[in-house]
Structure 1
């Protein structure tokens, strides 16, 4: 596939959501390429005096762009709250995936300063930034992972094995999103729309429903990106490695959104000193990384609280590593999953007040039956076709919900992840039928517009 054609299709894909986004991403690409040329020229001139200031300025410009589009209203709201002012909000449109393609370019700028980037023409650079499978929700790809593949002429030929693998993984990701994540999302929306009436049982059901929704939503997108890349003979880095199989939160964060973790490790944690300056400095550096991760996810204090909660337990896990390692595996897994699911209440809640009210519903310990309107969110056409009219009619809503929770748990714990499946994939009639059935079922199950949750970040 020619790079010009790939760039055109990537920009069309991005602009399809909103043509106004194109001006932002094209401007961002052009500005950062000029910074790259500037630093490359300074390097050729062996002018080390100005290379670092240019790099800092380039990073500041990128962060300023994110700050304006993503955090301006958040800043105004907090200034108004603290200072008693009444500045009007800007209601700025948040460009799709701006955090992803900006962080990707920041990594490129810093690597250029470090002398790790060879000479790239503008077309190659633009294709690297805008490569559509991972443009709007990651993974965050480094230049050395993607650019050599884009320049490899052998990858321009159709590889039918890669096409089969890619379509299989794409269908798998689409199924995760449509057939599982969106179903749990229906129950989550009902629950968070009626927090005051939940009571303990329903709050717990909704809390774990969101944990499952987020898992399959993000996992599904990562699979689809990986599958699309494979169909184009491009191998994208692993971004999601069965995090819910982790036995502690430190291991969990090594498996979840791995390329974002890698970004913060390379460009924040290690420059701050990493683990080279004693335990207290290490814990501080970890805390900073998680704090920044919270702000990266969204302009709200709920995301900051969520990130701080996770950062604190990761620090505790490192401080008492021997004790955590000595725990029975089941206990370690339960602590990790329950703690993370509880932290996600802040991640999902629209306001901090809503999250607190949600926890009040749980800790009042007023256990009741599960509300029927929450359970009916799981009444998909397939289950209704199989079970309606049976002798269990009165219990069907509960059965629907139980089936989905069991299926989700079996997939999370007992199945290989998409990368493992892709490695083991063999094109045959059975895999073809499975792929087609999964893809068609997913398409026929579209019930409305439901974007991926990470599109918001």
Structure 2
């Protein structure tokens, strides 16, 4: 069940909200939490009911491991064995469903064998759920689990806003809230949560899904062996870069908004990462909860930066390689992870040089340059991430390189997309076959209107506008918001009639785009 679907918005969510609003009036507030847990399990089983058995089995097993670990004082040999067994159980489930076919395929390629496995469907959300359970077991082993009960644990694992694609919620963030969540001001939480949800829905349906048309066409053309000119290749690559940005940003905000409707503040997972002036800063803003997990449960246990710069860079590379493979069982994700590991190592090495602290490199002009450079590097790294294979990624990167015809291609793009821009609305909205079976090399740049206007608008929106958490900062919408964002600014610094009209308009426009089914990109991971 997708957040951006009629059945979720007009059936599932209203029923769950009404049930919660009624049950929170009872003296025993646990019934409201039971209701949300049951609704979350129904939500998870909507796609494939048989996967309910998998998640329930996993919950029971992890409860047993957790109980044993919490009953064992200290970090002794027996508790380490229990922890290893618990980690092995969770990683085995993830490995089988996500990587078994990938492993067998590579073994067949390497040794010329012909092993086969039955078709394995990937349970939705298994990557996110697995990391949450691993963090819980490790913290139980370290004696850090508080506010634990069977009901609290089941709710923490299954709560539907974060169940499918994050954020990767830490038990210490959610469990302590369950005592107070049903007692909070429901109307206030609903207004704040609904506002955040609508903004996220608009980002996904109106912005991300519109850009997806151009990104998919460009990458499909390359996969089919077609040629793209310089400008068209950049249109496809930039369209995907912004599509992924607004798709993931939209989902993250919808999750935070949904949690807030029920009085639960989820951690912020996405904080204007394209405004980052370095790769290090980028990873503090992009998929924040994944970065946190990799740091706390992989990078630091490996040794972090405690054994000198060379070991630090090796740890960064290994962590990012595993982070890349976590996204999917394909060597393209591994390459993407290695690229980011390499960029992080270079970034840290540069920061250790005194020249990097020069006052000439700390002013506004320098920051603008570094923001542009970081965005460019991140966008180029998305090419293998998006491509179906390494050969297609190499081909697309080749089209992006300036050559003899690059200037001509760029001029043709500017002329076609921006000259006489206001007289072109009739051609933009005239029904036609948008993507012919074989694209002319310059199709995306010169004939796929209004991509030029869309890219200009989305660039301005990304780099010049405040993010949702700054707009709604005074309402403390999520956990982990920088203090500088808590004051609130702009039209959404309060929620009144004018804001209701604006948000209502955004909601209507978004709902009109729900006719086409468009899963979130991070559902694939």
1:149–1:155 Cα contact (<8 Å) kept: no
Aligned to 1:353: 391
Aligned ranges for residues 390-405 of structure 1 at < 5 Å?
400-405=450-455
Give SS of 1:92's match.
coil
- My pick for the range that moved more, 26-35 or 358-367, is 358-367
Report how far residue 13 of structure 1 moved.
1.0
- 1:289 counterpart residue number: 319
2:88 to 28, 37, 60: 60
Structure 1 residue 105 displacement after superposition = 0.5
Paired position in structure 2 for 1:409: 459
- Maintained 8 Å contact 2:207/2:246: yes
The answer to whether residue 199 in structure 2 is matched with residue 143 in structure 1 is no
Please name the residue that 1:164 is paired with: 191
1:442 and 2:515 correspond: no
CA contact (8 A) 2:147 2:175 kept: no
What is the alpha-carbon distance in structure 2 between the residues aligned to residue 431 and residue 135 of structure 1? 30
Aligned equivalents of 2:141 and 2:427: distance in 1? 61
CA distance in 2, matches of 1:336, 1:343: 11
Aligned length: 441
Q: Which runs of 5+ in 2 are unaligned?
A: 1-19, 21-31, 418-423, 431-444, 474-487
Aligned mates of 2:377, 2:471 — CA distance in 1:
29
> Is residue 387–residue 396 contact of structure 1 (8 Å, CA) maintained in 2?
no
Q: 1:72 to 1:85 in 2, by over 3 A?
A: same
Q: Does 1:303 align with 2:333?
A: yes
**Alignment check: 8 A CA contact 1:249 1:313 kept:** yes
- Pairing partner for 1:271 from 276, 294, 301: 301
SS at 1:197 equivalent: coil
Bigger mean CA offset, 298-307 vs 12-21: 12-21
Distance 2:184 2:267 in 1: 21
| Of 72, 81, 85, the match for 2:109 | 81
Q: Secondary structure at the match of 1:74?
A: helix
Give distance in 1, aligned partners of 2:505 and 2:191. 14
Tell me which residue corresponds to 2:256: 226
**Per the alignment, in what secondary structure is the counterpart of residue 306 of structure 2?**
coil
Partner of 1:126: 154
Question: Equivalent residue of 1:270, what SS?
Answer: helix
Is the 2:276–2:374 Cα contact (8 Å) retained in structure 1? yes
Whether the aligned pair in 2 keeps the contact of 1:324 and 1:332 (CA below 8 Å) is no
Q: Is the 1:70–1:94 Cα contact (8 Å) retained in structure 2?
A: yes
Alignment CA distance shift 1:422-1:52 (3 Å): same
Q: For residue 349 of structure 1, report the CA deviation from its aligned partner.
A: 0.4
TM-score, normalised with respect to structure 1: 0.91
Higher relative contact order (CA 8 A, sep 6+): 1
Partner in structure 2 of residue 200 of structure 1: 230
Counterpart of 1:87 in 2: which secondary structure?
coil
Measure, in 2, the Cα distance between the counterparts of 1:385 and 1:112.
62
Q: Conserved in 2, the CA contact under 8 Å of 1:180 and 1:213?
A: yes
Q: Which residue of 2 aligns with 1:379?
A: none
Please identify, of 435-444 and 194-203, the stretch whose mean Cα deviation from structure 2 is larger: 194-203
Match of 1:432 among 500, 503, 511: 500
Q: Flag the 1:363–1:410 CA change in 2: closer, same or farther, 3 A.
A: closer
**1:317–1:324 Cα contact (<8 Å) kept:** no
- How far apart in 1 are the matches of 2:185 and 2:169? 23
TM-superposed CA distance for 1:397, in Å, is 5.4
How far residue 342 of structure 1 moved from its aligned partner, in angstroms, is 0.7
User: Equivalent residue for 1:337?
Assistant: 375
Paired residues of 1:273 and 1:285 also in contact (CA < 8 A)? yes
TM-score normalized with structure 2 length: 0.80
CA distance change for structure 1 residues 324 and 23 in 2, over 3 Å: closer, same or farther? farther
Between 190-199 and 212-221, the greater mean CA deviation after superposition: 190-199
The 5 A counterparts of 1:98-113 are: 98-113=126-141
Q: How far has the Cα of 1:20 moved from its partner?
A: 2.1
Residue aligned with 1:320, SS = helix
